[in-house]
Amino acid sequence: MQRYRVCVADDHEETASVLCEGLKLHGYEAFSVYSGSAALEACRAGEADLLLLDVCFPDISGYQVCEQLKADRKTQDIPVVFVTVKGGKEDIAKGYQLGAADYITKPYNLPMVMLRVDAAMSGRSAVARGGEGGGYLSDTAYTDHLTGLRNRRFLLERLQEEVEEAHRYDYPVSCVVFDLEEVKALDTELGPVSLDDLLVELAMSLRNHSRTFDVLARYDGTVFATVLPHAPLEHAIRYVGKIMDDVDATTFSDPSFPTEVRLNAGVVTCQNGSALGADYVLGEAMRGLLQAKSIPDKRYVAHNLSQQQ
């Protein structure tokens, strides 16, 4: 598997070191530079596949770095993700206008940064392949800003495509809907970890256990959905088990705010889905989720729609 190289440009060495360590733990190669000119030099030398860029440097600003990279044909395809304290609306707008792939304000949640890096690299890979996915991935209208996953609009469009393909070529496709609830602080004085942090951690777990061609989306609020092409029901059930084990064992174990949560799921599989459509398939997955919530010792309910025809 290719290990992408990430250049972290920040004039504070400790901040850069924290980001680099997080990236390495997440499977990236990472190195740091501490000035705008050094960031330019590293990118022009072909040393970076992605640049995490602060705005404030003693020599040239991060905005100038981004502008110069995007003006050079040799470096214009390197995704730039700003990570900075400058979080005003005008600052963010300027970053995107200069061609940034994303803009993250400090203080940040480290897992969220990892998700946004994943999304930026996925966008670059899709564009490099010249596939249709590049248009989706580069369109913020299809992206959930908090988690970096896709949104409801993207989910419904891709689910419709997948159930039609499943019918045409006679292969199974599964849809899973997750809901995070019953957030409980283990230390009542400290309280639970923030809901946004929980959602980001769940998104990270979904990424870690999904295939590159699976569709991952934040549907609404605490509800997430995944589309698993070429996945029979038993495969989808194993997938749900891995996500739930991850949540139970490690996902929400912030030592500062120890928290327990309950994750429920509804699972459906179809192989002749074009007659049903995305709305029906998703509705059945939601029905399974509601059934799972109503049974205390049942965390997921699964249905094979093909056998009901």
Location of each CATH 3.40.50.2300 domain in the chain: 5-138
More confident residue, 262 or 41: 41
Residue 264's pLDDT is 92
Cβ distance 30 to 23 under 8 Å?
Answer: yes
Query: Which of 267, 275, 265, 272 is CA-nearest to residue 298?
Result: 265
Q: Is the pLDDT of residue 114 over 70?
A: yes
157 vs 253: which has the higher pLDDT: 157
CATH number of 152-308: 3.30.70.270
Query: What one-character DSSP code corresponds to residue 307?
Result: G
Average pLDDT score over the chain = 84
Asked if residue 192 has a cis previous peptide bond (ω within 30° of 0), the answer is: no
pLDDT of res. 125:
53
Catalogue the E-assigned strands of 120-169: none
Enumerate the CATH 3.30.70.270 domain ranges in the chain, comma separated: 152-308
pLDDT(134) > 70: no
Domain 5-138, architecture per CATH: 3-Layer(aba) Sandwich (3.40)
